[in-house]
A and B are shown apart, each in its own frame.
Chain A
Amino acid sequence: MKFSMLPQVFAQMFKKPFTNKFPAKYIPSSTTKFLGDVGSGKAEIIPPIETPEGFRGKIVYDKDRCIGCKLCIKVCPSDAIEFKPDEKKVKFYLARCVFCAQCNDICPVNCLSMSNEFLLADSDKYSKDLIVE
Protein backbone atom coordinates (compact mmCIF):
# COMPACT_ATOMS: atom_id res chain seq x y z
CA MET A 1 0.00 0.00 0.00
CA LYS A 2 1.31 3.31 -1.05
CA PHE A 3 1.37 5.57 1.98
CA SER A 4 1.61 3.25 4.94
CA MET A 5 2.97 5.83 7.38
CA LEU A 6 0.27 8.39 6.63
CA PRO A 7 -2.34 7.28 9.24
CA GLN A 8 0.40 7.31 11.87
CA VAL A 9 1.61 10.79 10.97
CA PHE A 10 -1.95 12.10 10.81
CA ALA A 11 -2.83 10.75 14.25
CA GLN A 12 0.28 12.29 15.76
CA MET A 13 -0.97 15.78 14.91
CA PHE A 14 -3.63 15.44 17.60
CA LYS A 15 -1.48 13.81 20.27
CA LYS A 16 0.97 15.25 22.76
CA PRO A 17 4.58 15.05 21.58
CA PHE A 18 6.54 12.11 22.94
CA THR A 19 9.52 14.23 24.03
CA ASN A 20 9.57 15.53 27.57
CA LYS A 21 10.52 19.20 27.22
CA PHE A 22 13.12 19.45 29.97
CA PRO A 23 14.07 22.10 31.12
CA ALA A 24 11.93 24.54 29.10
CA LYS A 25 9.63 24.37 26.11
CA TYR A 26 11.87 26.44 23.87
CA ILE A 27 15.58 27.24 24.23
CA PRO A 28 15.94 30.48 26.21
CA SER A 29 17.87 33.20 24.40
CA SER A 30 20.03 33.75 27.48
CA THR A 31 20.67 30.85 29.85
CA THR A 32 21.86 32.96 32.80
CA LYS A 33 18.76 35.16 32.60
CA PHE A 34 16.59 32.04 32.54
CA LEU A 35 18.29 30.62 35.62
CA GLY A 36 17.88 33.97 37.36
CA ASP A 37 14.15 33.95 36.56
CA VAL A 38 13.80 30.46 37.98
CA GLY A 39 15.54 31.53 41.17
CA SER A 40 13.21 34.47 41.72
CA GLY A 41 10.11 32.47 40.84
CA LYS A 42 9.21 34.06 37.52
CA ALA A 43 9.87 31.01 35.34
CA GLU A 44 9.51 27.29 35.96
CA ILE A 45 11.72 24.37 35.03
CA ILE A 46 9.84 21.41 33.61
CA PRO A 47 11.18 18.47 35.64
CA PRO A 48 12.92 15.48 34.06
CA ILE A 49 11.33 12.05 33.97
CA GLU A 50 11.36 10.27 37.32
CA THR A 51 14.21 7.85 37.82
CA PRO A 52 13.24 4.31 38.83
CA GLU A 53 14.21 2.69 42.08
CA GLY A 54 17.67 1.22 41.95
CA PHE A 55 19.01 3.95 39.69
CA ARG A 56 22.78 4.41 40.03
CA GLY A 57 23.43 8.10 40.63
CA LYS A 58 25.74 10.01 42.91
CA ILE A 59 27.39 7.95 45.63
CA VAL A 60 26.38 8.36 49.30
CA TYR A 61 29.11 7.66 51.85
CA ASP A 62 28.43 6.88 55.51
CA LYS A 63 31.73 7.98 56.98
CA ASP A 64 31.24 6.69 60.51
CA ARG A 65 30.78 3.08 59.45
CA CYS A 66 33.83 2.95 57.21
CA ILE A 67 36.66 0.83 58.63
CA GLY A 68 39.40 1.73 56.14
CA CYS A 69 39.88 -1.76 54.66
CA LYS A 70 40.65 -0.41 51.15
CA LEU A 71 38.67 -3.13 49.33
CA CYS A 72 36.74 -0.51 47.34
CA ILE A 73 40.01 0.94 46.02
CA LYS A 74 41.09 -2.50 44.85
CA VAL A 75 38.01 -3.02 42.73
CA CYS A 76 37.31 0.45 41.30
CA PRO A 77 37.79 0.25 37.49
CA SER A 78 38.68 3.90 36.99
CA ASP A 79 40.92 4.67 39.97
CA ALA A 80 38.48 7.21 41.44
CA ILE A 81 38.98 6.50 45.15
CA GLU A 82 41.83 7.80 47.30
CA PHE A 83 42.84 6.55 50.72
CA LYS A 84 43.55 9.07 53.46
CA PRO A 85 46.04 7.23 55.72
CA ASP A 86 45.91 9.65 58.66
CA GLU A 87 42.15 9.27 59.15
CA LYS A 88 41.79 5.75 57.67
CA LYS A 89 38.87 6.88 55.50
CA VAL A 90 38.44 7.31 51.73
CA LYS A 91 37.70 10.14 49.33
CA PHE A 92 35.70 9.79 46.07
CA TYR A 93 36.42 11.86 42.97
CA LEU A 94 33.20 11.98 40.97
CA ALA A 95 34.94 13.41 37.91
CA ARG A 96 36.41 9.94 37.35
CA CYS A 97 33.60 7.78 38.72
CA VAL A 98 31.77 5.58 36.19
CA PHE A 99 28.78 4.85 38.50
CA CYS A 100 29.21 1.09 38.32
CA ALA A 101 28.40 0.51 42.04
CA GLN A 102 31.01 -2.24 42.35
CA CYS A 103 32.34 -0.56 45.51
CA ASN A 104 28.85 -0.91 47.03
CA ASP A 105 28.91 -4.66 46.42
CA ILE A 106 32.31 -5.33 47.94
CA CYS A 107 32.12 -3.11 51.03
CA PRO A 108 32.02 -5.43 54.08
CA VAL A 109 30.15 -2.98 56.35
CA ASN A 110 27.66 -1.63 53.76
CA CYS A 111 28.55 2.01 54.19
CA LEU A 112 28.02 2.94 50.51
CA SER A 113 24.87 3.39 48.46
CA MET A 114 23.82 5.16 45.26
CA SER A 115 21.33 8.03 45.26
CA ASN A 116 19.24 9.15 42.29
CA GLU A 117 21.03 12.42 41.64
CA PHE A 118 22.30 12.69 38.09
CA LEU A 119 22.45 16.40 37.21
CA LEU A 120 26.12 16.69 38.09
CA ALA A 121 27.66 18.67 35.22
CA ASP A 122 30.32 21.15 36.27
CA SER A 123 33.20 23.02 34.69
CA ASP A 124 35.74 22.34 37.44
CA LYS A 125 36.88 18.77 38.04
CA TYR A 126 37.67 19.27 41.70
CA SER A 127 34.73 21.43 42.79
CA LYS A 128 33.00 20.79 46.08
CA ASP A 129 30.00 19.04 44.48
CA LEU A 130 32.17 16.48 42.76
CA ILE A 131 34.14 15.25 45.76
CA VAL A 132 32.52 13.00 48.36
CA GLU A 133 34.38 12.34 51.60
Chain B
Amino acid sequence: MMAGKKRLNPEEIVKSFKDEFKAKIKNTRIERRTKGPSKHEFVHIWMKVDKSIFKDSVKHLATLQKYPHLAVASGNDLGKTIELIYHFSIYYGVPLGEISINISVEIPKAKPEIETICDIIPGALITEREKQEMLGVKIKGIPDSRRVFLTDDFPEGVYPWRKDETGPQKMIRNLHEVKK
Protein backbone atom coordinates (compact mmCIF):
# COMPACT_ATOMS: atom_id res chain seq x y z
CA MET B 1 0.00 0.00 0.00
CA MET B 2 2.34 2.74 1.06
CA ALA B 3 5.32 0.74 2.16
CA GLY B 4 7.74 2.47 -0.15
CA LYS B 5 6.59 6.07 0.42
CA LYS B 6 8.31 8.35 2.81
CA ARG B 7 6.27 9.65 5.72
CA LEU B 8 6.38 13.41 5.99
CA ASN B 9 6.37 15.28 9.26
CA PRO B 10 3.68 17.90 9.88
CA GLU B 11 5.66 20.93 8.75
CA GLU B 12 6.49 19.22 5.47
CA ILE B 13 2.85 18.33 4.92
CA VAL B 14 1.76 21.96 5.36
CA LYS B 15 4.59 23.09 3.12
CA SER B 16 3.55 20.69 0.36
CA PHE B 17 0.02 22.08 0.43
CA LYS B 18 1.25 25.66 0.40
CA ASP B 19 3.61 24.96 -2.49
CA GLU B 20 0.83 23.44 -4.53
CA PHE B 21 -1.89 26.00 -3.89
CA LYS B 22 -0.04 29.16 -2.93
CA ALA B 23 -2.33 31.77 -1.45
CA LYS B 24 -5.55 29.82 -1.44
CA ILE B 25 -4.63 28.03 1.77
CA LYS B 26 -5.16 30.24 4.79
CA ASN B 27 -5.09 29.92 8.56
CA THR B 28 -3.02 26.83 8.92
CA ARG B 29 -2.17 25.83 12.44
CA ILE B 30 -0.39 22.79 13.80
CA GLU B 31 -1.44 21.75 17.28
CA ARG B 32 0.84 19.51 19.21
CA ARG B 33 -0.19 18.10 22.52
CA THR B 34 1.45 15.65 24.84
CA LYS B 35 -0.60 12.97 26.46
CA GLY B 36 -0.14 10.41 29.14
CA PRO B 37 2.65 9.62 31.52
CA SER B 38 5.31 9.08 28.87
CA LYS B 39 4.42 12.40 27.25
CA HIS B 40 4.24 11.18 23.70
CA GLU B 41 3.04 13.74 21.20
CA PHE B 42 0.06 13.79 18.90
CA VAL B 43 -0.49 16.28 16.11
CA HIS B 44 -3.59 17.89 14.65
CA ILE B 45 -3.28 20.06 11.53
CA TRP B 46 -6.03 22.59 10.73
CA MET B 47 -6.31 24.28 7.35
CA LYS B 48 -8.76 26.63 5.70
CA VAL B 49 -9.00 26.26 1.91
CA ASP B 50 -10.77 28.27 -0.70
CA LYS B 51 -13.92 26.82 -2.21
CA SER B 52 -12.50 26.75 -5.72
CA ILE B 53 -9.63 24.41 -4.92
CA PHE B 54 -11.41 22.19 -2.41
CA LYS B 55 -11.56 19.10 -4.59
CA ASP B 56 -7.97 19.54 -5.76
CA SER B 57 -6.77 19.76 -2.20
CA VAL B 58 -8.44 16.43 -1.40
CA LYS B 59 -6.77 14.94 -4.46
CA HIS B 60 -3.44 16.28 -3.24
CA LEU B 61 -4.08 14.64 0.12
CA ALA B 62 -4.67 11.35 -1.66
CA THR B 63 -1.14 11.57 -3.09
CA LEU B 64 0.31 11.64 0.41
CA GLN B 65 -1.54 8.49 1.39
CA LYS B 66 -3.38 6.27 -1.04
CA TYR B 67 -6.68 5.95 0.83
CA PRO B 68 -7.04 8.77 3.37
CA HIS B 69 -9.49 7.99 6.13
CA LEU B 70 -12.44 10.38 6.26
CA ALA B 71 -13.90 10.33 9.75
CA VAL B 72 -16.81 12.76 9.32
CA ALA B 73 -17.68 16.24 8.05
CA SER B 74 -19.04 18.68 10.61
CA GLY B 75 -20.70 21.99 9.96
CA ASN B 76 -21.04 25.43 11.57
CA ASP B 77 -23.48 28.18 10.81
CA LEU B 78 -21.51 31.44 10.99
CA GLY B 79 -24.12 34.02 10.12
CA LYS B 80 -23.51 34.90 6.48
CA THR B 81 -21.54 31.78 5.61
CA ILE B 82 -21.67 28.09 6.32
CA GLU B 83 -18.43 26.42 7.31
CA LEU B 84 -17.88 22.74 6.54
CA ILE B 85 -14.99 20.96 8.21
CA TYR B 86 -13.80 17.61 6.81
CA HIS B 87 -11.87 15.53 9.34
CA PHE B 88 -9.30 13.30 7.64
CA SER B 89 -6.54 11.19 9.09
CA ILE B 90 -3.49 9.74 7.38
CA TYR B 91 -0.64 7.39 8.25
CA TYR B 92 -2.85 5.01 10.21
CA GLY B 93 -1.36 1.58 10.71
CA VAL B 94 1.89 3.04 12.00
CA PRO B 95 2.06 2.90 15.81
CA LEU B 96 1.92 6.43 17.27
CA GLY B 97 2.25 7.83 13.78
CA GLU B 98 -1.25 8.93 12.80
CA ILE B 99 -1.80 12.60 11.97
CA SER B 100 -5.23 14.24 11.86
CA ILE B 101 -5.81 16.76 9.09
CA ASN B 102 -8.89 18.97 9.30
CA ILE B 103 -9.77 20.89 6.13
CA SER B 104 -12.39 23.60 6.49
CA VAL B 105 -14.26 25.30 3.67
CA GLU B 106 -16.53 28.34 3.85
CA ILE B 107 -19.41 28.72 1.47
CA PRO B 108 -21.78 31.70 1.26
CA LYS B 109 -25.38 31.22 2.34
CA ALA B 110 -26.70 32.92 -0.77
CA LYS B 111 -25.31 30.14 -2.94
CA PRO B 112 -24.49 27.10 -0.77
CA GLU B 113 -22.90 24.69 -3.24
CA ILE B 114 -19.86 22.45 -3.08
CA GLU B 115 -18.52 19.55 -5.08
CA THR B 116 -18.67 15.95 -4.02
CA ILE B 117 -15.64 13.87 -3.11
CA CYS B 118 -17.39 10.53 -3.53
CA ASP B 119 -15.31 9.68 -6.60
CA ILE B 120 -12.09 9.98 -4.60
CA ILE B 121 -13.40 8.47 -1.35
CA PRO B 122 -16.57 6.39 -1.85
CA GLY B 123 -17.16 6.19 1.90
CA ALA B 124 -18.10 9.88 2.05
CA LEU B 125 -21.62 9.30 0.78
CA ILE B 126 -23.51 9.20 4.06
CA THR B 127 -21.83 12.22 5.58
CA GLU B 128 -22.48 14.28 2.45
CA ARG B 129 -26.15 13.32 2.44
CA GLU B 130 -26.36 14.40 6.07
CA LYS B 131 -24.96 17.86 5.29
CA GLN B 132 -27.50 18.29 2.54
CA GLU B 133 -30.45 17.76 4.78
CA MET B 134 -29.17 19.33 7.98
CA LEU B 135 -27.61 22.52 6.63
CA GLY B 136 -29.22 23.02 3.24
CA VAL B 137 -25.94 22.66 1.34
CA LYS B 138 -26.26 21.47 -2.25
CA ILE B 139 -23.58 18.93 -3.17
CA LYS B 140 -22.97 18.76 -6.90
CA GLY B 141 -22.51 15.36 -8.44
CA ILE B 142 -23.58 13.29 -5.46
CA PRO B 143 -24.69 9.81 -6.59
CA ASP B 144 -27.61 9.55 -4.16
CA SER B 145 -29.33 12.61 -2.76
CA ARG B 146 -32.11 11.16 -0.62
CA ARG B 147 -32.54 12.07 3.03
CA VAL B 148 -30.65 9.92 5.44
CA PHE B 149 -31.71 10.79 9.01
CA LEU B 150 -34.75 13.02 8.74
CA THR B 151 -38.12 11.60 7.79
CA ASP B 152 -39.51 12.00 4.31
CA ASP B 153 -42.35 14.16 5.57
CA PHE B 154 -40.10 16.64 7.38
CA PRO B 155 -40.90 20.08 5.92
CA GLU B 156 -38.71 21.37 3.13
CA GLY B 157 -36.67 24.46 3.84
CA VAL B 158 -36.20 23.77 7.55
CA TYR B 159 -32.57 22.99 8.34
CA PRO B 160 -31.99 21.77 11.89
CA TRP B 161 -28.39 22.89 12.32
CA ARG B 162 -28.88 26.44 11.21
CA LYS B 163 -29.25 29.22 13.75
CA ASP B 164 -31.20 31.71 11.61
CA GLU B 165 -34.87 31.78 10.66
CA THR B 166 -34.67 28.51 8.73
CA GLY B 167 -33.83 26.67 11.95
CA PRO B 168 -36.22 24.32 13.69
CA GLN B 169 -37.51 26.83 16.26
CA LYS B 170 -41.15 26.39 15.36
CA MET B 171 -40.99 22.63 15.74
CA ILE B 172 -39.88 22.56 19.37
CA ARG B 173 -42.27 21.45 22.08
CA ASN B 174 -41.13 21.46 25.69
CA LEU B 175 -42.73 18.28 26.94
CA HIS B 176 -41.61 18.54 30.52
CA GLU B 177 -43.06 21.94 31.35
CA VAL B 178 -46.14 20.70 33.10
CA LYS B 179 -47.34 21.40 36.60
CA LYS B 180 -44.54 20.81 39.05
Query: Which residues of A are interface residues toward B (Cβ below 8 A)?
Result: 79, 82, 93, 96
Residues of chain A with a CB closer than 8 A to B176's CB: 79, 96
Does chain A have a CB within 8 A of B111?
Answer: no
Pairs across A and B, CB under 8 Å, 4 listed = A79-B176, A82-B180, A93-B180, A96-B176
CB-based A-B contact count at 8 angstroms = 4
Query: Which B57-110 residues have a C-beta within 8 angstroms of A?
Result: none
Chain B contributes a number of interface residues (CB within 8 A of A) equal to 2
Question: Which residue of the partner chain B has the closest CB to A78?
Answer: B176
Query: Which B132-180 residues have a C-beta within 8 angstroms of A?
Result: 176, 180
Question: Which residue of the partner chain A has the closest CB to B178?
Answer: A125
CB distance from A90 to the nearest CB of B (A): 12
Tell me the complex Cα distance, A7–B54, Å: 63
Tell me the complex Cα distance, A79–B174, Å: 12
CB distance from B38 to the nearest CB of A (A): 30
Tell me the complex Cα distance, A85–B1, Å: 68
Tell me the complex Cα distance, A96–B176, Å: 9
Tell me the complex Cα distance, A76–B180, Å: 16
CB distance from B154 to the nearest CB of A (A): 27
